Every structure is written in C-alpha cells, then in structure tokens.
C-alpha cells in the first residue's frame, strides 16, 4: 500500500532542530543508540568505501516498528521514547538512551537522503525522508510529504530496522571505520548483550588486565557519582585511555584525565594506562545540546573533578610505588655494584640520584634504565658537584656560618661550570654555522640542529622545549593542510612550549631563502590554523631564513609583535655576542674573588 506520512510537531521543535552533530561517526552512533533502545542484540554497520557514492547502511535485529509506531511515535518529533514508554526497555531492561526524540535527525545531518525500513509482526514499513525538503519547510514540517509504503515480510518472524543514508554531507569528514569502532567501544565496550559489527568486523570488547577500582563520590547536592576504572598492566596499549563521563546511560564527549595530567608525580606513560568511566546523572542539565561535552565551567563538574582527583591520585601512587619497588628490586644487584664504587661519604646522595632516575625513566625498558643508572653512578663518582652537595647537606644541621660557607662554595662551582659551558658553546658555534648556513642543508637537519641547541635562540628562550603532544599537533596540521599534491610546499615547523605554557613556533626555511612579506602572511596563517588544534593558546612565530627583507627587521623591535624574523647568520652572531659577554662578566667576577682571597 502506497501513501504519504507526516511529522507530528511538538512545541519544543524550534530549539531542538538547531542541534547537530560534530562528526559523521557521532551521528552514526546516535542511530545505533536507537537500535540499543529497540532491544537489538546485534547491529551491522557498513560504511562506504573511499571515493565512492555508496550509502551508509545500519541494520539491527531489534523489535522494529509497525506502521502505527512509525506514524505516531517515530515521526513525533521531540517526543522522547523514555517519556512515552518509561526509562527502561521492555525486553532487556536497558536504561533508555534516547532523551529528546530527535535521534532520527542524526542521519539527515550527514546525508541528504534517509530510508528507514522497519520490520515487525510480519509486516514492513518503508519510509523515505529528504533533508532538503525538511530544511525548506523550516518549522512547517507537518506539510512535508514523506513517501511511505507497507507490505508483508517474506519471513513473518523477522524483526528489526534498516537505515540507508545516501548522499554524504561534504561538510563532514568521510566516515572512518577505526574512529567509529573506538567511539562504539567506548560507549558499548562493557555491554554483554549488544554486539556491533563495522564492515563485518566485531567491535572488540576488551577485558583490560590490571588493578580495578570502584568508588562512590558524594556531591554536595546529595546526589552521587559512581566511579569505576582500571589501571592496566601496561602490556597491551589502550585504544582510548582516560575516564569517560556517562550521563543518563550515555557517554558524553571524549575521555579525560580530570586534572591528573597536570600533576608532575604521575608519569604520562602511567596516566595513559587509565581506562574507565564515571557515571553521574547530576550532570545532565550541563550537557551540551549535541551531547558532545559537559560545560567545563559548571559547578557540578568542577566539584566532581575536585573530589575524584585525590581518589585517583591515591590509586596511581599505589601502582607507581609498587612498580618502582619491583624495578628497584630487579635492578638491585646492578645498583649495589655501582654504589659500591663510590666513596662512602657520597653514597647517600648516589642512592637519592637512583630514585630520581627510576622515577624519571619510569616505563622505559629495564635494559635502558640499567644503562642510565650506570652512567649516572659513574658520573656521580667523578662530579665536582657531588662533594659540594654533600657539604651543603651536612651544613643544614650545623651552624649558620657553615651553611653560608657551603652556599659560597656552591656558587663558586656553579660559576665555574657555567663558564666552562659557555666556552664549550663558543667552540661548537663554528660547526653549527657550517650546518645552518650551508644551502645544501635540508629542513629536517635544520630542525635537529636548533631543537637540540635551543640556547641559540637567546636567554629569553632558555626555558622552552618540545614534546610529543606538540610534535603531533604540528604533524596533524601539516598533514591536513598540505595534501593533494601540495606536500612539497609543506613548511618545516618546530613547536616549543615555555614554563608558562606559552607556545613558540619556529618556521625554518632553507639557508638560501630570503624572508619576505609572503612569509609574514604565512606565519599569521599558521597562528590562526593551529588554534584549531591548540585552542586558547597564544602562539609566537619566529621565521628563519638566510636573509630578512629590511622592512621586516623593524617588526622585531615592537614589544607586542607575535611574529618575528631572523636570519640564521644573525642568530649565530647574537649567540656569540651573548656568550662572549657572559664569559667576560664571569672572568671579572672570578678575578674579584681571587683578589679577596689573596687579601685574606
């Protein structure tokens, strides 16, 4: 039987239709949530192959819908399933995920054409929805004709729903199977009666080995949050570490570490072994419209984070301490042999140094840790600092005059070593000059030379460094920006961070390149583009080349300039001037000190 159907509009429509989804994968997940609410045991998702016009197919074995249910419930916008049929599903007693009654629009966010074919009680109902017609109708959806036909199923016992999405929205990235699997594993990884297949491959339900924990967090409003997590044994890398927030049975946003990433005593390698979730329905009023995040400045989320952090920290300290002790035990003989070669009065300091090595290189292979320990113990036995540090330690329990004398000796040694370091840097400047000024030097070599000798940039950049996260952000940006035959135009960028978390981006051009206004425009583009990957971060850009146009040199003198320009030759020259000045001042200080000692 062929006829038409119409939407039935709830008064909340105007606000709900403005919601959308951040990615194709999130929209697909919303449709899978509907299958979960329909008590499906299995769902099969077939994604289109790249560079094809194939549709997205989603098929489930849920209860399906009759024609009456399609007309009166599915097409009743903003009428949530939970409000109609209760908070739990009828057959599997699942907590219903559909909350706002607009999940059917998820498909139309990523496709221009959606077909719904639902089988129940021996009959099928086939509905077709065109996105463009809905958008043209705006709020007058009741007047839009939706082609629908019904008939008898070949198999009277078959039930379920099939959704076909055709005409992928070009404003979204092409659906990615790996991203979708990770998203679904996060949402449904612990479900025992719900299997998902993406392109025929079962979404893995991982049994993570490690230390498991469960806690109840009581909030000030009387409600509570349930915290369940595992710190894995580290033998198998986690696909998506961190703690997910679950609200009303649904995962909200990406996993997070709840401030633990800012605690220095937790090594990043250990932090990435965290996997779990916090279930907190009290956060529902603060979930964003697309169910993609919890509003960061909400008081409830801040309170939850504040109360979770010490609980998590205690677990990490327990695991960390136990694993450090195990590593120390396995390396005990190696450490004891090294310490035995150090004079007795220095061994206490050597043992402290060993603790620092074990903490700093936590997670590295034991062979590498053993090698580093050997080097440190050998250097400790020969270091001039070790004797001075012992004197300083001993003076802490003595007279003030003894401590003053120890500090004086420390300062004298420090000055001497700084002078030695400056002399060594001056000696290698000529070698660096040959690399940086050679037109044959490739950009990667420029990056290596500068990143490992950041003192070349001057004292103001003495406390900057790179890290893997910054390197990854730059790689993602360059890889996304310079594709489709433009890879040869990709710049050589080095991103650094100072102690205040300010960012410095080095744009390293060839030694025979002259920095021009075109480079200035490109640098400003880097600042704008990278904010997508590093939001709320100020980025200073320094453009390097063999020479700089005269009109740009004056820009460096402006105090508020966020883009600066340098030639490699001027950088080397400034570094040489600073080192010579420092050596001159240190020599004056040393001569003055020698005269004082002679007078005594």
Per-residue model confidence as pLDDT tens digits over 80-114: 665 666 788 888 888 888 766 666 777 877 888 99
Q: What does the pLDDT average to over 23-49? A: 91
Q: Distance between CA atoms of 100 and 290, rounded to whole angstroms?
A: 11
* pLDDT(12) > 70: no
State which of 105-119, 362-376, 468-482, 491-505 shows the largest mean pLDDT. Answer: 105-119
- Residue 1's pLDDT band, with cuts at 50, 70 and 90, is low
Higher pLDDT, 143 or 515: 515
Do 322 and 234 contact (CB within 8 A), yes or no?
no
Separation of alpha carbons 306 and 485, rounded Å: 49
Out of 137-141, 159-163, 512-516, 560-564, which region has the weakest mean confidence (pLDDT)?
137-141
- What confidence tens digit (pLDDT) does each residue in 333-366 have? 777 777 777 767 667 777 777 787 888 788 777 7
CB 141 within 8 A of CB 2: no
Q: Which residue has the higher pLDDT, 114 or 135?
A: 114
pLDDT at 396 over 70: no
> Confidence class of residue 166 from pLDDT cuts 50, 70 and 90?
very high
Residue 16 has pLDDT above 60, yes or no: no
More confident residue, 89 or 585: 89
The reported pLDDT for the residue numbered 412 is 59
- pLDDT value at position 101? 61
**Mean pLDDT to the nearest integer, 7-15:** 49
What are residue 340's phi and psi, to 5 degrees?
-65, -25
**What pLDDT is stored for residue 87 in this prediction?**
81
Taking residues 134-145, what's their average pLDDT?
A: 70
| pLDDT for res 533 | 78
- Tens digits of residue pLDDT in 540-579: 889 998 899 888 877 777 767 788 888 888 888 888 888 8
Cβ(470)–Cβ(497) under 8 Å? yes
Give 210's pLDDT tier (boundaries 50, 70, 90): confident
Residue that wins the pLDDT comparison between 430 and 395: 430
Stretch (H or E) spanning 418: helix 400-436
Mean pLDDT of 314-334: 86
pLDDT tens digits for range 222-274: 899 999 888 888 766 666 788 989 888 788 888 889 889 888 888 888 898 88
Q: In the predicted model, is pLDDT for residue 404 greater than 60? A: no
Average pLDDT over residues 164-177: 83
The span from the CA of 189 to the CA of 206, in Å, is 7
pLDDT at 66: 93
- Of residues 190 and 319, which shows the higher confidence score? 319
What is the pLDDT, as a whole number, of residue 463?
A: 66
Instruction: Classify residue 447 as exposed, middle or buried by CB count within 10 Å of its CB (0-12, 13-18, 19+).
Output: middle
- Under a CB-based contact definition with an 8 Å cutoff, are residues 35 and 193 in contact? no
User: Residue 118 above 90 pLDDT?
Assistant: yes
What confidence category does residue 149 fall into, taking pLDDT thresholds of 50, 70 and 90?
Answer: very high
Measured between alpha carbons, how far is 187 from 288 in angstroms, rounded to an integer?
A: 17
Selection from 243, 256, 231 nearest residue 321 by Cα:
231
For 503-511, what is the mean pLDDT?
A: 87
Enter the tokens of residue 285.
């009023």
pLDDT given for residue 216 in this prediction: 93
Percent of the chain with pLDDT over 90: 17
| Residue 45 CB neighbours (<10 A) | 27
Average pLDDT value over all residues in the chain: 80
Neighbours of 4 (CB within 10 A): 10
pLDDT class for 11, splitting at 50, 70, 90? very low
Asked if the model's pLDDT at residue 15 lies above 60, the reply is no
């Amino acid at each position: 039987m062929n006829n038409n159907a119409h939407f039935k509009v709830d008064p909340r429509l105007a606000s709900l239709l403005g919601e959308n989804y951040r990615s194709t994968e999130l929209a697909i997940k919303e449709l899978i949530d509907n299958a979960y609410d329909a008590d499906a045991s299995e769902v099969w998702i077939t994604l289109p192959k790249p560079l094809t016009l194939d549709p997205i197919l989603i098929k489930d074995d849920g209860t399906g819908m009759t024609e009456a249910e399609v007309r009166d419930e599915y097409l009743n916008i903003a009428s949530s399933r939970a409000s109609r049929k209760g908070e739990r599903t009828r057959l599997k007693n699942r907590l219903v995920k559909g909350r706002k009654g607009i999940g059917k629009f998820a498909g139309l966010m990523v496709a221009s054409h959606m077909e719904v074919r639902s089988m129940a009680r021996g009959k099928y109902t086939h509905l077709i929805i065109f996105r463009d017609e809905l958008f043209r109708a705006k709020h007058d959806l009741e007047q839009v004709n939706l082609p629908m036909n019904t008939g008898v199923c070949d198999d009277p016992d078959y039930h379920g729903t099939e959704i076909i999405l055709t005409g992928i929205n070009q404003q979204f990235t092409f659906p990615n199977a790996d991203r979708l699997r990770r998203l679904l594993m996060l949402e449904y990884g612990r479900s025992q009666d719900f299997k998902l297949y993406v392109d025929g491959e079962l979404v893995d339900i991982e049994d993570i080995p490690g230390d498991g924990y469960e806690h109840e967090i009581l909030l000030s409003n009387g409600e509570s949050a349930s915290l369940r997590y595992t710190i894995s044994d580290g033998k198998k890398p986690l696909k998506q570490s961190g703690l997910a927030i679950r609200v009303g049975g649904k995962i909200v946003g990406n996993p997070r570490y709840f401030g633990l990433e800012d605690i220095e005593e937790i090594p990043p390698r250990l932090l990435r072994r965290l996997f779990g979730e916090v279930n907190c329905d009290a956060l529902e009023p603060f979930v964003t419209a697309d169910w993609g995040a919890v509003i960061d400045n909400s008081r409830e989320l801040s309170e939850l984070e504040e109360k979770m952090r010490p609980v998590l920290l205690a677990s990490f300290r327990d695991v960390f301490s136990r694993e450090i002790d195990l590593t120390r035990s396995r390396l005990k003989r190696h450490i004891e042999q090294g310490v035995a070669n150090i004079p007795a009065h220095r061994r206490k300091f050597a043992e402290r140094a060993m603790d620092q090595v074990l903490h700093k290189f936590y997670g590295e292979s034991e062979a590498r840790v053993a090698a580093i320990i050997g080097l440190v113990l050998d250097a400790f036995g020969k270091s001039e600092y070790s004797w001075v540090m012992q004197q300083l330690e001993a003076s802490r329990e003595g007279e003030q005059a003894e401590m003053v004398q120890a500090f004086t000796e420390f300062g004298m040694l420090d000055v001497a070593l700084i002078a030695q370091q400056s002399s060594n840097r001056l000696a290698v400047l000529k070698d660096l000059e040959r690399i940086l000024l050679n037109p044959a030097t490739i950009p990667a070599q420029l990056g290596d030379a500068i990143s490992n000798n950041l003192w070349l940039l001057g004292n103001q950049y003495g406390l900057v460094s790179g890290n893997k996260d910054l390197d990854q952000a730059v790689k993602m940006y360059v890889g996304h920006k310079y594709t489709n035959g433009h890879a040869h135009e990709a710049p050589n960028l080095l991103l650094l961070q100072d102690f205040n978390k300010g960012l410095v981006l080095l744009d390293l051009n060839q030694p025979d390149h002259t920095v021009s206004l075109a480079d200035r425009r490109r640098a400003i583009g880097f600042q704008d583009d990278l904010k997508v990957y590093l939001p709320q971060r100020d980025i200073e850009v320094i453009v390097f080349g063999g020479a700089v146009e005269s009109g740009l040199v004056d820009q460096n003198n402006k105090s508020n300039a966020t883009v600066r320009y340098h030639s490699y030759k001027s950088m080397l020259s400034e570094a040489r001037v600073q080192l010579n000045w420092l050596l001159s001042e240190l020599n004056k200080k040393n001569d003055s000190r020698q005269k004082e000692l002679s007078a005594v």
